[in-house]
Structure 1
Amino acid sequence: MSLRTNLRKILPSISITEQEALDAGDVWLEGSIYQGKPDFAALRAVPEAKLSTEEQAFLDGPVKELMGMIDDSEIQNGKHLPEHVLEFLKKERFFSLIIPKEYGGLEFSPYANSTIVGTIATKSSAVAVTVMVPNSLGPGELLLHYGTKEQQAHYLPRLANGRDIPCFALTSPEAGSDAGGIPDQGIVTKGVHNGEEVLGLEITWDKRYITLAPIATVLGLAFKVLDPEGLLGGKKELGITCALIPHDHPGVQLGNRHDPMGIRFYNGTTRGEKVFIPMDFIIGGKKNIGRGWQMLVSCLGAGRGISLPALGVSTSQVALKSASEYAAVREQFGLSIGQFEGIQEKLADIAGKAYLQEAMRVLTTEGLGMGLKPSVVTAIAKYHMTETGRDVLDSAMDILAGKAIQNGPQNTLASGYVAQPIAITVEGANILTRNLMIFGQGVMRCHPYLQSMVESIHSEDKDADSKFRGILTKTVSYSVANSLRAFKYGVMPFTADAKSSLPEVREYEKAAHRLAAKLAVYADFSLLVLGGKLKQAEMLSARLGDVMSYLYAAMASIKYYEQKVAVSEREQAAPYFHYATRYALTSAEEALHKFLDNFPASGTRKFMRVITMQFSGKQMPKINDDMVRELAAAAQMDTPFKAQLTHLVKPTAGDGHDINEQAYKAKMGCLDLLVKVKKAVRRREIQPGVRFEQTLDNALVANLINEEEYAKLVDYNRKREKAIRVDEFDFDLNLLNEETAKEAAKQAVNE
């Protein structure tokens, strides 16, 4: 009995849904990371993402107008999206970002799509999700890639101009992450449609969590097709299939809503009991019966690589802008709170991760813009960018403290704080994404021989043994080369390659090579020792996935610094870049150590430790306290690079961001005067007042400042007072405006 035959008994076969997921999409930069040789040449060759003139005009026009229309506090306190907002989205074709111009769509790039969704999300999560869904996985994208000419001609113009609102129903109460286990069924049968008897499907479904379902006019539906009577002349179980059904088709139930954390985008259920549809309703027609799962996983890039990461980035940019401005303006114990190291530690982490988020957003959309569908990279982007968004938002909430927990129009964090867990649960919940998808798909997609080896093991071909031996020889050679490379880098770390023209980048590039070399060794030995059990060893595989993810993040950070940061702004950007890159590299190293510490085979664990020199301790460049102080200070300065890192946030007159920004910029404009006044108080040259404005009065009387300087400082102080206030309501929670609140306070004092 051959080795191949023995392995066939041990290794589990790959299910149809797993195989379709593996076959979908492309291998990109993550392939070189997995194989221990990060391809920085390919990284630097990726075309730089830029907005076209048309895309920039859309941001400067309709998007800007939309931002002025949105009152998120009103939306959150209501039950529906305002009708005028919904109509504006339709009229200005916000639902057609991915639809080709020939069908009336905007046909924007992935980078523009991400920028638009991210910008809207800084103002309203509910509106952003409403725009996001039609432009990600759903009827529009499925029609583009798989629809018949007739379906495209009918639906795409209607989707582009908002006449039709789409939704896509996949999740069932019994099948969430396990989409392959959906119980919804369509039975091949004959029925009457438009007065004629035709061949079709009788479908029964029960779906939940479906965004836009309550207002949808066309329902995308995923279900399993069965042909018990053999009417199609083939198998009885034909697999997952996708169809488009008009909302008013007999038997379709839509309209009921869920309440996702009080965020007022439309989300709800859809059901149907023995609803007959003709074969023409199947996306792509009868030939696409059973191809639904392949169609879905191949189109996941928009949701996982564009829309959901954009929500995470928007959260980070809001957190950075809000926390840095508040830390500069808010004072306690006679100092701005941004001068306290506890605040600095949080603020630096927000700033560094906001940089990393933007770098990953740009690189991922650049890859998608090349026409690639890198399934592992988009899973990395979805998981880490939504998780990091939640992480930095927690830190921003800590910095703004009481101001962050009071609802109202001035609160810039609350909506994102409530909404962020929603992004984390969809398109594959993050626990699933990290533990099963990133490395689980990565190992099969990125290993140069593994997929071919598994196919040869389960092959029935006569020459299968011969093919297997050839693949095995290549695999052994590949693994030996990986071990030798890792050992060389461990003994002589200076031999790692670096091609960057910037001295400050080269050490990080070398570090990425050394870490990737270790990853390749650990992946090889995991497959050798654990084999098919690696799929169940989720904590181990998740850590290897973390290494891949953080190395991808480090590469994104390097590319952004080299290509997106103007030479004149490198000094401003350096603290952000160093913090972000070191965070990514040290996180990757930490994941490697945790993997090795928990590897179940002690002999193999010791051998891997020797090969990779892990016994020598942690070697990546660390984030130290001086870096934290430097970045926290940089984050509180009003620089062009900081503006670049918060470019998604568009303050509109009178909103929370506008109030905060006005106070912040006013302070930046009179820093020297503030130092002068405070120094005079410390020297007892002037008498401090109970309120700061009284101190300014005393400074003016003492001729410490002139009338113009006095006016400038008073203007700042009044803006500061407004920025540190929170919204106030009457007893019945009716919002009070500024004047009404003052009158209420006076009345309370008089009474």
Structure 2
Amino acid sequence: MSILAPFLAFLLVGAFAAYHRLRLAYWAAITATLLVACWLLGANPTATIIAAVIVALIALPLLIPAIRKPLITAPLLTFYRKILPPLSQTERIALESGSVGFEGELFSGDPDWNALLSQPKPELTAEEQAFLDGPVEELCRMTNDWEITHIHADLPPAMWDFIKKNKFFGMIIPKEYGGLGFSALAHHKVIQKLASVSSVVSSTVGVPNSLGPGELLMHYGTEAQKDHYLPRLADGREVPCFGLTGPFAGSDATSIPDYGIVCEGDWDGAKVVGIKLTFDKRYITLAPVASIIGLAFRMYDPNGLLGDTRDLGITLALMPRETPGVEVGRRHFPLNSPFQNGPVRGHEVFLPLSQIIGEEKGIGEGWRMLSECLSIGRSITLPSTASGGAKMGAVVTGAYARIRKQFGLSVGRFEGVEEALARIAGKAYAISALSQATAAAVDRGEKPAVPSAIAKYHCTSMSRDVVKDVMDVVGGKGIILGPRNFVGRAWQASPIAITVEGANIMTRSLLIFGQGAILCHPWVLKEMKAAQNPDVAAGINEFDRNLFGHIGYAISNAVRSFWFGLTSSRIGAAPGDDYTRRFFRKMDRYSANLALMADISMLTLGGKLKFKESLSGRLGDVLSHLYMTSAVLKRYHDEGAPAADRTLLAWAVHDSVHQMELALSAALRNFPIRPIGWLMWALIFPLGRRAHAPGDRLGHRAAALLMTPNEARDRLASGVFTTPCENNPGGRIDSYLAKAVLAEPVERKFLKALKTKGIEALDFTSQLDEAVAESWITAEERKLLEELRAITLDTITVDDFDAHELRAASYYDRPQASDGSRAAA
């Protein structure tokens, strides 16, 4: 034992120092002190000397800069430059355009949870709340989604006028330009509420307030451009769209083939320098009704009118619809969710340089503009749309499952339906928290490139899962379209959100971890910049500082991963209350796991990592679920840690933990360098995988929350349009829940009488007459049962139509042949 003591002291102090991230000098001093103690206490002298030599061989070269920099840092810098993946100009701009918020802590392996919990609670101003309670509520009441989607394939004129009059298109435009000047949180809340009743309305309002002319002008426009366009956009005199995607450049926006040639031309009766644009864009939302078209193109100056550079880069311009040569094509028809969407084309359309956003300063800056603004716009519209739909689906389906009965039981009491209801409840809670978290990041002044990608991908994907489960629960009510259907159009529209603003497959496999591994990592971007520093001495100094910080960080995460795996994250300090502290400890573990895997992957695969999309996607899943869990824990504490919400919180956290372990397991089992994968498995899962999906008992409680009036359910429903009215079948069903619960004891008594008392009547009304006459129920109880029958009928009834009502109206405008058939459109 005396032989092992010095080496045990060496290892234990090293592990302790790594776990707590002590400086190398402290580790060396503590280890030296313990080795002296071992010597004095009679440990084997030879073993103690060997341990001391090992400490000296590690500490001295690393602690003395004159030895470390020329002998260690410089060679490593040379090697690093060889394995450093090349960054294109567009990738560099994308990285520089985003900022890092709390997601950076998740890459640290030791997140500062107090920094998260101390962030201000997102709250609306009185003016913003009044807008939600007034114009937004009124617009929801005006919305008849069946008429919009089936009859008009558009918003009716009265709704367009209302939207423009109340400045829905100007929510993000500052008040000095006539807009509402709302926060990102208010923007999120408006879109969420509109989406709960109609995705067509929410997209119509959302697009002008997302990436487009308004936001681009606010950040990059000249004062003259702002003064002219922003007031007109705010009050609806101008309806904007933005043309980015084309047939040959979808997700790869940097390769757009649309071009503009610098030349001279006529504009407003004068000869000016401008550009002749040739372009072909498709999938452009609001294009069919837009009066001002934003356009992304590559700008060329072959004749040197602006200088010596021929390829000036991606540039953005504003193009009035009436500009000669502009062709706004016929409408696209996106999956029976007919928001205004269509192609825009043009051949040699002349615009003056004054129509470039930012004028001459904006030439070639288009990709930077798009990268910086996309992270803001993508943080709001699609996550908020997903949140509105998921929350509305959750509360309405919960009510439906309580009211709808089969075999004498509410369908929600069957365990198979309970499983679906639990997923609906837990995912709606997570989506709501995640979408609000990204909006709050924008309000804090961040440009959340990575969180916006996380929110877009996971909110829309989980929302699709929610609507799938809703369709399964409501059955025929969901598949028969008509004015009474509250979910069919949401089911049809769910792939749209998956596809737009960056396809989800690409977002997951390329963007989340691809950006996060560099942008959020505490050392990698610093090392890359140091390696590219043209000043050799300064570069070595910077690289030295960052490299050894990174090495210590990597060792720490290896130790922390192993320790958390051995203890199942049950030991260690953590914030939160008695209920959530265990969740924070779990997040510490997976943060260390992610950081370790990211480092090993980048070190061993180098530039090849960007082509390992399956690995990147799985590591992106870990980062995403860490961020999502942070959002739900933040929401829970912001709302005062209500005990009633613990079921939803626990379901969301356990689901994310399970998904993280699945992702880590798949990444390790498929790691390209198998021995490295085996080693990391031993560090990350020393006792094997232990996390499981949310269990049945937790699922039972989550489902029960949706089917019973309670404060947790009310909080989940907050911010969606549940007002019962003729145009809102979901709101009516939700309003029936309390009445159905109140009537259930009477219903059970009545059904028992039917079975045991020998009631002879066959129809419902006669049965009630007999039951009252025999005093089996009272007259008041009869009224409850009649009301229950009426609300049940409204809940389960579906629509039917005459055949001609289902044909497009334009069908009757076509020439009719002698056999009664109609000509093709």
Check whether TM > 0.5: yes
SS at match of 1:253: strand
* Aligned mate of 2:304, from 230, 245, 248: 230
Name 2:802's counterpart in structure 1.
730
| 1:157 and 2:231 matched | yes
- Opposite residue 678 of structure 2, the aligned amino acid is K
**How big is each residue's C-alpha offset from its partner over 1:219-255, in whole Å with a ceiling of 9 and x where there is no partner?**
1111111122222224221211111111112222225
How far is 1:658 from its partner?
3.8
| 1:590 and 2:662 matched | yes
SS at match of 1:275: strand
**Which sections of structure 2, spanning at least 5 residues, go unmatched?**
1-73, 808-825
- Opposite residue 496 of structure 1, the aligned amino acid is G
Residue correspondence of structure 1 range 29-428 to structure 2 within 5 A: 29-77=102-150, 78-428=152-502
* Aligned mate of 2:633, from 548, 558, 563: 558
Distance 1:625 1:695 in 2: 39
How far is 1:615 from its partner?
3.9
| Alignment check: 8 A CA contact 2:196 2:392 kept | yes
| Alignment check: 8 A CA contact 1:317 1:649 kept | no
Residue correspondence of structure 1 range 683-694 to structure 2 within 5 A: 684-685=756-757, 687=759, 690-694=762-766
| Alignment check: 8 A CA contact 2:287 2:328 kept | yes
- In structure 2, the CA distance between the partners of 1:686 and 1:514, relative to structure 1 (3 Å rule), is farther
| Alignment check: 8 A CA contact 1:228 1:236 kept | yes
More displaced 10-residue stretch of structure 1: 614-623 or 43-52: 614-623
Name 2:707's counterpart in structure 1.
636
Distance 1:688 1:637 in 2: 34
**How big is each residue's C-alpha offset from its partner over 1:494-533, in whole Å with a ceiling of 9 and x where there is no partner?**
3333111x21111111111111111111111001111111
* Aligned mate of 1:676, from 749, 763, 775: 749
- In structure 2, the CA distance between the partners of 1:227 and 1:497, relative to structure 1 (3 Å rule), is farther
* Aligned mate of 1:653, from 718, 725, 749: 725
SS at match of 2:775: coil
How far is 1:650 from its partner?
2.8
Distance 1:5 1:617 in 2: 39
Distance 1:79 1:399 in 2: 28
| 1:483 and 2:565 matched | no
Distance 2:113 2:693 in 1: 22
Residue correspondence of structure 1 range 422-501 to structure 2 within 5 A: 422-463=496-537, 464-465=539-540, 467-492=542-567, 493-500=569-576
**How big is each residue's C-alpha offset from its partner over 1:339-377, in whole Å with a ceiling of 9 and x where there is no partner?**
110100101110111111111122221111111111100
- Opposite residue 509 of structure 1, the aligned amino acid is F
| Alignment check: 8 A CA contact 1:383 1:424 kept | yes
Name 1:22's counterpart in structure 2.
95
Distance 1:151 1:530 in 2: 48
- Opposite residue 728 of structure 1, the aligned amino acid is D
SS at match of 1:222: strand
- In structure 2, the CA distance between the partners of 1:282 and 1:472, relative to structure 1 (3 Å rule), is same
How far is 1:465 from its partner?
4.8
How far is 1:6 from its partner?
4.7
| Alignment check: 8 A CA contact 1:38 1:513 kept | yes
- In structure 2, the CA distance between the partners of 1:426 and 1:496, relative to structure 1 (3 Å rule), is farther
| Alignment check: 8 A CA contact 1:168 1:219 kept | yes
- In structure 2, the CA distance between the partners of 1:693 and 1:509, relative to structure 1 (3 Å rule), is farther
Distance 2:462 2:739 in 1: 31
SS at match of 2:501: coil
Name 1:542's counterpart in structure 2.
617
More displaced 10-residue stretch of structure 1: 58-67 or 393-402: 58-67
| Alignment check: 8 A CA contact 1:213 1:268 kept | yes
- Opposite residue 642 of structure 1, the aligned amino acid is R
**How big is each residue's C-alpha offset from its partner over 1:355-411, in whole Å with a ceiling of 9 and x where there is no partner?**
111111222211111111111001100000000000010000000011100011110
More displaced 10-residue stretch of structure 1: 19-28 or 454-463: 454-463
- Opposite residue 685 of structure 1, the aligned amino acid is K
- Opposite residue 573 of structure 2, the aligned amino acid is D
- In structure 2, the CA distance between the partners of 1:352 and 1:155, relative to structure 1 (3 Å rule), is same
| Alignment check: 8 A CA contact 2:707 2:737 kept | no
- Opposite residue 322 of structure 2, the aligned amino acid is D
Name 1:715's counterpart in structure 2.
787
Distance 1:658 1:606 in 2: 53
- Opposite residue 262 of structure 1, the aligned amino acid is N
Distance 2:194 2:667 in 1: 39
Distance 2:124 2:504 in 1: 30
Distance 1:659 1:2 in 2: 71
Distance 2:792 2:356 in 1: 59
- Opposite residue 76 of structure 1, the aligned amino acid is T
- Opposite residue 103 of structure 1, the aligned amino acid is Y
| Alignment check: 8 A CA contact 2:233 2:240 kept | yes
* Aligned mate of 1:575, from 640, 647, 651: 647
How far is 1:4 from its partner?
3.8
- Opposite residue 110 of structure 2, the aligned amino acid is K
| Alignment check: 8 A CA contact 2:724 2:735 kept | no
More displaced 10-residue stretch of structure 1: 707-716 or 475-484: 475-484
Residue correspondence of structure 1 range 658-669 to structure 2 within 5 A: 658-669=731-742
Query: What percentage of residue pairs aligned between the two structures are identical?
Result: 42
- In structure 2, the CA distance between the partners of 1:12 and 1:662, relative to structure 1 (3 Å rule), is closer
- In structure 2, the CA distance between the partners of 1:161 and 1:482, relative to structure 1 (3 Å rule), is same
Number of residue equivalences: 729
**How big is each residue's C-alpha offset from its partner over 1:61-98, in whole Å with a ceiling of 9 and x where there is no partner?**
11111112111111112233211111111111110110
* Aligned mate of 1:608, from 662, 675, 680: 680
SS at match of 1:26: coil
Name 1:524's counterpart in structure 2.
599
| Alignment check: 8 A CA contact 2:153 2:339 kept | no
How far is 1:688 from its partner?
7.7
How far is 1:452 from its partner?
2.8
- In structure 2, the CA distance between the partners of 1:721 and 1:225, relative to structure 1 (3 Å rule), is same
Distance 1:704 1:553 in 2: 54
| Alignment check: 8 A CA contact 2:97 2:372 kept | yes
TM-score (norm 1): 0.94
How far is 1:670 from its partner?
1.8
Runs of 4+ in 1 over 6 A off after TM superposition: none
* Aligned mate of 1:13, from 83, 86, 92: 86
| Alignment check: 8 A CA contact 1:686 1:699 kept | no
SS at match of 2:379: helix
Name 1:741's counterpart in structure 2.
none
Distance 2:263 2:572 in 1: 64
SS at match of 1:143: helix
**How big is each residue's C-alpha offset from its partner over 1:387-446, in whole Å with a ceiling of 9 and x where there is no partner?**
000001000000001110001111000111111111111111101110011000000101
- Opposite residue 359 of structure 1, the aligned amino acid is A
- Opposite residue 544 of structure 1, the aligned amino acid is L
- Aligned residues: CA RMSD: 1.9
| Alignment check: 8 A CA contact 2:562 2:686 kept | no
- Opposite residue 368 of structure 1, the aligned amino acid is V
| Alignment check: 8 A CA contact 2:654 2:694 kept | yes
| Alignment check: 8 A CA contact 1:104 1:161 kept | yes
SS at match of 2:580: helix
- In structure 2, the CA distance between the partners of 1:732 and 1:31, relative to structure 1 (3 Å rule), is same
| 1:504 and 2:583 matched | no
SS at match of 1:728: coil
